[in-house]
Structure 1
Amino acid sequence: MRSRFRLSNWLLALTVAVVVGVVGLVTAFSNPGGRFEETLGLAWLFELRGSGPAPENAVVVAVDGRRLPREPGSNCAAAPRPYPDRWPRSCHARLIDTLNRLGAEAIVYDVGFTEPGADGEDRRLADAIRSSGRVALLQPIEVDSVAGVSNISVERLRQPVSALKQAAAGAAPFPLPKVPVRVSQFWAFKPSLGDVPTLPALALQVRNVDLLPRFLELLAGAGLSGIPEATQASRANLEGLMRKLRRRLAGLEWLPGHLDAALTKDETPEHIQRRLRALSQLYTGPDSYYFNLYGPPDTVPTYRADRLLEGSEGPSPDLAGKVVFVGEARLAAADKDGFYTVFSQADGIDLSGVELAATAYGNLLDRSYVNPARPWLAVAILMGFGAVCGILAGLVPGVWVATAVLLVAAVHVGAALLIFAQDQLWLPVATPVVVQAPVAALLGLALQYARARRQRRNAARAVGYYVPPEVAENLVEGATPSRVSELRYGACLATDIEGYTRISQTMPPVELAGYMNGYFETLVSEIERQGGYACQTVADSVIGVWLGQPEEADVAARACVAALYLQQAVDAFNARRAGPVLRTRVGLHVGWMALGHVGGAGHFAYTVTGDTPNVASRLENTNKRLGTRILASASAFEGAEAECVGRYVGSFVPRGKSERIRVIEVLCRRDEAPEATLSLRRDFEAALSLYEAGDRAGAGERFKAILEEHPGDGPCHYYLRKCLPRHGSVAGDDGQRADTP
């Protein structure tokens, strides 16, 4: 478990956290990313939340020119008209009177009365509007292209019929995009039209016009200058007053809190506080808001105008305290007033403009509109999501990374949904789930895979210090060391240091260990450079092997050449290091050997065993008696004759063997052989022939003659001693018997 918390894991986690966090920030704060979050993330939250409770403060009255009231004697019973603004105006007048009688606090017409009605019709409707005193009308927006200039247009408000406009409490536009995209936001004030209030904002102010003097007093009490006098608060020129307040209060984020404190202090009733808070937020808040949609079409309570006028709606609805929005509703997608939203239905029925106006009003009054996360909160969430994913990617095993990241994404969506449903706070959802989570999972898996590969390489390299590369790979991949060794053919090289016991007694252990490490590095590097493998290092000895097939002479040749290069490398080591001079003795033999793991109880060594390494070791030891540095069996040297120069130095029976082995001293590479070496070989082999033929006297004379020219030649000294009468047939050290005729 503790290995999961290593520094490398935390570095991987930090890398994933930073990358995933930055990817989230770049995505969410780019224009395409913002649209992506709105199109997908906000839609998810609405769909998962489902429909909310219908607003208590707004209703819709659906007006359809194809369903005119059929009251006898009324001109409303004329032939159906296709659009509500084509209704006989007297029908609208009767509708206003009916709504007033039912207790409506304000009536908002999402119908553009821009064309005059029939004779006397406009006057009849204007009288009804004036009598009500709380009717707001729609001002349609027209977009005109600038002549001669492409891609530039001008917005223009179309005014209702003058008589109606003068009678109304106000008129305002309700701009929504009429293009095939999802509607998510609404305007409270339209900056491009001079901060004109929109229909929902006007409806809020008309509903609370009785609180306008109190609101102006609170503003004056807050120490604000340029606030109209409370005596100026009236229904006359309500739009102009709203513009002045908007321009003076826009951006004063401290003001709602200040007014809250003032309202609480003077114990203003809660329902009044609610309405005043809505006004303060309206004038100080942003120009636009995100809809908090209540649900699919007809979620906002809806009544049919023709049934209200005919009295066939059933029990008369109680409209006390409510704002009534009049317009086209419950229309098919093909009609002109349907808007695509997250609650648009599969049968093509969209939310109508009048339902959206009622929804926007309810959001403003209750301050229940959707609030996008502030930038600092969005940054914290995206970076926090990246941090959690990074920790999982660094500490969770690779096969579980994707599952863990998906689980975190699901928890994040659940938490965001709960906060959205309770507080209307819109936290980033699409970016973490669709962008960050896959990036975290893929990046975490990729980095873990790369780290695992790097660790396997490092482990193989580390194990490779003790076993061959292919064996190291198998062990790293999980193979269990087998007690069954592999029978292989090859050449075996055994080394030893002359006088190592004496040297070890003259140096402190730690200093000796460092010195020997340098020596072993020299030997092992040279063995590997020549294609061999150093399979065992014990005390002062090294055993190297070259593997191949019996018919491959190259195996023995590489071992013999390696022995010569090894001696040169040791000489170079002695020259560059301050310390005792090390003389290396080498023995070489070829044959079959067992290569594998040796040991038990969970501890193994990878080494070579069998007769071949044993003979190589005995030949290395024979160097002591002969005063030589490299001895090879004749079978080992046979394959190296094309590359090396050697001389036959006798036939010996190693300890534990019953057969003699012809021994060759490896002198030098053939392309580097000096004439003196070749002459020594000829003279020595002639003298040795006399010795092996039994002519010890003649052989002795020959060895003496050679020593006069080559006084340091070890084999000549060895055989000269054996030629003396007192030697006879002697046993060499460690049980080797020299062949004496």
Structure 2
Amino acid sequence: MPHWTQSLLAGLMVGLLGVLVAALPASWAWEEDIGLAALFKLRGSRVAPDEVVIVAIGGRTSHQLKVDEEVRNWPRTLHAQLIDQLAAAGAVVITFDIFFKKPSGDEHDRRLAKAMQDAGNVVLFAYLERKILPAGSSKTRTPANKLVQLEHLQPPIPLLADTAVAVAPFILPKVPIKVGRFWIYHDNIRLFSLPVVAQELYSATALSDYLHILEQQDPVLKQRISHSSIEKGERLSIDTLIDLRNEPEFANTLLKTLVSPAMAVLSSEHRRQIETLLATYRAPVHPYFNFYGPPLTITTVSYEDILAGDSQALASIKNKAVFVGYSGHYQTNQQDSFISVFSQSSGLDLSGVEIAATAFANLIHKETLIPLGEAAQATLIVFYGLLIFLLLRVLPPYLSIAAGLVVAILYFAVVYGVFSKANLWLPWTVPLFVQTPLAMLVTLGWHYREARLSRHRLKAIFGYYLPSEVVDRLAHDSDEALGHGEAAFGVCLATDAENYTHLAEHTDPAQLKLLMNRYYELLFTPVRARGGMISDVVGDAMLAIWSAPQDSTKLRASACHAALEIHAAFKNTHRPHQIPTRIGLHAGDLVFSHIGAIDHYEYRAVGDIVNTASRIENFNKQLGTRILISQETLSDLDGLVTRNLGSFHLKGKQQSVILHELVANTKTVSAEILALHAAFAEALSAYQADELATATRLFQAMVQRYPEDGPSRYYLNACR
């Protein structure tokens, strides 16, 4: 499989594994609990919209008003007075995050109802009771794990529920413990939640103006919209709201009407309110909060200051949506609180009214967090996994970790940027904590594997030129290996091709290459088979070496048999271009070392035997022989047929060298060769005894009988 194909597949595997991990419930919970919280904490507090104000029942309110700490025990005339003050101050909508579950005296309840009726813009909290019961009955033997959830809406007392402009629950998911989402619409009870209802009333005037213009512009479309009049405008019916949720095209049609010329008379603020209201109706059922900060980030005035008629507090109410509820400053008194990403280390949490006000502010500015859809999230995670893997794959290993960290930081910067600027929530815990480390580990492992394969390939390649133990030393410590010298006993086998110059001049280079490769194959095969090392190859010459810590007859015998096998290989090869080869062998001490300087070294044997072996090989020319070996090489060897040729002064050598012709092994020698050797030994003995006349006669007889015997001709000429 091609290199890049493997990398692409591996990158896709990293991406797909990230998708699988992200799909696990525990992983998504981690993304919400850790990932989202980190983004909020990094962004910190931000300015809350000024359209919403919280009237807080704080830890000191009961003391200031000289009432019981429990709000449900307060005289409801206090709430009536509060509503009067808020209405007079110009509050657009007043939302109570207080559950008026039980009557509190007819006079007090009527006074509160009267104040609500006069204001005409009060929304009350209704409690949604949930019960989880086993399905069926004991008689049906229903399995214990089969449960049903029953929901029942408990409105405030009838007098107050009937007087309020609307009642609505504020539904928060039961899990996880840390609150992060809220419900917009509950299908079972066909009701929108408290913040949505507050938004409807806040936009009632804008909706009234919009519907009035729409009736003139498109009466048919206007007839599809069912609505009812309230104190300060219009409110859509629940049926119309459900149609808007279920029919996106209906909502899109209404949005398009906002840009028509007829709507030019609609103020920009009213147009914005209609747009955000339609967006709310079409929003996900339970969007994510986009928190503004820790407790008291949203503009907050105290309950007692409003009752006291504090001018500064009342001035902050004009044209605002007001949420009334408990917002304690002290943990010991804090009630109706929820753990959130901005819960304080002191234990102070966001109160229910602050969370409701946050939801309202998010809705009127279309600021709820937008998580990616499943398909988009999967695509992003796959893309990130593929991108980081391919990037780390092409980089060298020493840059992988740093590059992985840089990519992770850049990705997180993008995640934070879109979160902070566009309220878009991208997943980052799986890419950073799963895919990035995985990509690092896989690519580092891949690099390590490739390095090992490359090292093996290099060792195999260098094995053609160097002994395996030398390659190992170079692979582990090149500096030490270059300075390493190894003394040993060795046998050098030197070869040279006859008439190579003439052959090279008259042969095509491409053909010459093939010819010489075959030639060296015939040389190398016996050497390798007999345990020798190819030390040098220069032109048409080769130097092979057998080495051991000390002198060994087995070592010298191996070299001699290799020489015979080389000679036999060329003798038995029938090719158009025969390359006769001369061989010389010598044994002695040598040193293996890397010879060279600066940036060029060669591993070779150093010692007198190397030069002597080359001189012996070259002396074949004068004697007319093919294989010459020194006495040091032949000493104590059995099983070989040799001919003692005498002692010679080789070129460049001060001491004479006793040379023998290596002919065959004892199993293949013929009687004729033995007769030749016997006759030659007699003639050589006469020559060495200075009996030149006898030697001349004997050598002359041999030349006549063996005209191709080179040593006989050499000595015959020497006798003359």
Report the TM-score, using the length of structure 2 for normalisation.
Answer: 0.85
Deviations along 1:640-684, whole A, 9 cap, x unmatched?
x256554544433322224333333444456xx14x44x566545
Q: 2:140 maps to which residue? A: none
Q: Equivalences for 1:361-400 in 2 at 5 Å? A: 361-373=360-372, 378=377, 381-382=380-381, 385-386=384-385, 389-390=388-389, 392-400=391-399
Which amino acid is 1:132 matched to? A
- In the alignment, which of 249, 267, 276 is matched to residue 274 of structure 2? 276
- Is the aligned partner of 1:51 residue 2:45? yes
Q: Equivalences for 1:478-517 in 2 at 5 Å? A: 479=479, 488-517=488-517
Q: 1:146 maps to which residue? A: 133
Separation in structure 1 between the aligned mates of residue 384 and residue 446 of structure 2, nearest angstrom:
18
Contact 1:186 1:288 in 2 (8 A): yes
Q: 2:660 maps to which residue? A: 664
Q: Residues 692 and 247 from structure 1, CA distance in 2 versus in 1: closer, same or farther, beyond 3 angstroms?
A: closer
Q: Residues 525 and 435 from structure 1, CA distance in 2 versus in 1: closer, same or farther, beyond 3 angstroms?
A: farther
Q: 1:620 maps to which residue? A: 617
Q: 2:159 maps to which residue? A: 163
Contact 1:646 1:667 in 2 (8 A): yes
Give 3-state SS (helix, strand or coil) of 1:520's partner: helix
Residue 62 of structure 1 and its aligned partner are, at CA, apart by: 2.4
Q: Residues 442 and 160 from structure 1, CA distance in 2 versus in 1: closer, same or farther, beyond 3 angstroms?
A: same
Residue 312 of structure 1 and its aligned partner are, at CA, apart by: 6.7
Which amino acid is 1:538 matched to? V
- Is the aligned partner of 1:38 residue 2:32? yes
Q: Residues 314 and 157 from structure 1, CA distance in 2 versus in 1: closer, same or farther, beyond 3 angstroms?
A: same
- In the alignment, which of 199, 204, 211 is matched to residue 209 of structure 1? 204
Q: Residues 642 and 276 from structure 1, CA distance in 2 versus in 1: closer, same or farther, beyond 3 angstroms?
A: farther
Residue 241 of structure 1 and its aligned partner are, at CA, apart by: 4.5
Residue 407 of structure 1 and its aligned partner are, at CA, apart by: 2.6
Residue 222 of structure 1 and its aligned partner are, at CA, apart by: 7.7
Contact 1:16 1:386 in 2 (8 A): no
Q: 2:138 maps to which residue? A: none
What RMSD over aligned residues (CA atoms) do the two structures have, in Å? Answer: 3.9
- In the alignment, which of 300, 322, 327 is matched to residue 302 of structure 1? 300
Residue 51 of structure 1 and its aligned partner are, at CA, apart by: 0.0
Give 3-state SS (helix, strand or coil) of 2:152's partner: strand
Deviations along 1:545-578, whole A, 9 cap, x unmatched?
1222233334323322333344455567x35xx5
Which amino acid is 2:301 matched to? Y
- Is the aligned partner of 1:590 residue 2:587? yes
Separation in structure 1 between the aligned mates of residue 620 and residue 614 of structure 2, nearest angstrom:
10
Aligned residue pairs, count: 701
- In the alignment, which of 96, 102, 109 is matched to residue 83 of structure 2? 96
Which amino acid is 1:130 matched to? Q
Separation in structure 2 between the aligned mates of residue 131 and residue 713 of structure 1, nearest angstrom:
144
Contact 1:214 1:230 in 2 (8 A): no
Separation in structure 2 between the aligned mates of residue 231 and residue 406 of structure 1, nearest angstrom:
57
Q: Equivalences for 1:165-244 in 2 at 5 Å? A: 165-179=161-175, 181-191=177-187, 193-216=188-211, 228-229=224-225, 232-234=228-230, 240-241=238-239, 243-244=241-242
Give 3-state SS (helix, strand or coil) of 1:261's partner: coil
Contact 2:31 2:428 in 1 (8 A): yes
Separation in structure 1 between the aligned mates of residue 558 and residue 105 of structure 2, nearest angstrom:
117
- In the alignment, which of 260, 263, 281 is matched to residue 262 of structure 1? 260
Q: 1:538 maps to which residue? A: 538
Q: 1:729 maps to which residue? A: 719
Deviations along 1:564-615, whole A, 9 cap, x unmatched?
344455567x35xx54233333221111335444556744544444421222
Q: 2:141 maps to which residue? A: none
Q: Residues 542 and 302 from structure 1, CA distance in 2 versus in 1: closer, same or farther, beyond 3 angstroms?
A: same
Deviations along 1:121-180, whole A, 9 cap, x unmatched?
433332322222211122222221233453523233222222222212222221213456
Q: Which moved more, 1:143-152 or 1:612-621?
A: 143-152
Identity %: 31
Which amino acid is 1:358 matched to? A
- Is the aligned partner of 1:547 residue 2:547? yes
Residue 271 of structure 1 and its aligned partner are, at CA, apart by: 1.0
Separation in structure 1 between the aligned mates of residue 695 and residue 227 of structure 2, nearest angstrom:
144
Contact 1:21 1:436 in 2 (8 A): yes
In structure 2, list runs of 5 or more residues that go unmatched. Answer: 136-143
Separation in structure 1 between the aligned mates of residue 131 and residue 474 of structure 2, nearest angstrom:
79
Which amino acid is 2:303 matched to? A
Q: Equivalences for 1:287-298 in 2 at 5 Å? A: 287-298=285-296
Residue 89 of structure 1 and its aligned partner are, at CA, apart by: 2.7
Separation in structure 2 between the aligned mates of residue 589 and residue 18 of structure 1, nearest angstrom:
63
Q: Which moved more, 1:596-605 or 1:34-43?
A: 596-605
Give 3-state SS (helix, strand or coil) of 2:291's partner: coil
- In the alignment, which of 104, 113, 116 is matched to residue 126 of structure 1? 113
Q: Residues 207 and 539 from structure 1, CA distance in 2 versus in 1: closer, same or farther, beyond 3 angstroms?
A: same
Report the TM-score, using the length of structure 1 for normalisation.
Answer: 0.83
Separation in structure 2 between the aligned mates of residue 511 and residue 281 of structure 1, nearest angstrom:
83
Q: Which moved more, 1:256-265 or 1:315-324?
A: 256-265
Give 3-state SS (helix, strand or coil) of 2:629's partner: strand
Residue 359 of structure 1 and its aligned partner are, at CA, apart by: 0.2
Residue 344 of structure 1 and its aligned partner are, at CA, apart by: 0.8
Q: 2:524 maps to which residue? A: 524
Q: Which moved more, 1:50-59 or 1:645-654?
A: 645-654
Separation in structure 2 between the aligned mates of residue 65 and residue 51 of structure 1, nearest angstrom:
23
Give 3-state SS (helix, strand or coil) of 1:319's partner: coil
Separation in structure 2 between the aligned mates of residue 601 and residue 69 of structure 1, nearest angstrom:
93
Separation in structure 2 between the aligned mates of residue 164 and residue 429 of structure 1, nearest angstrom:
48
Separation in structure 1 between the aligned mates of residue 129 and residue 102 of structure 2, nearest angstrom:
14
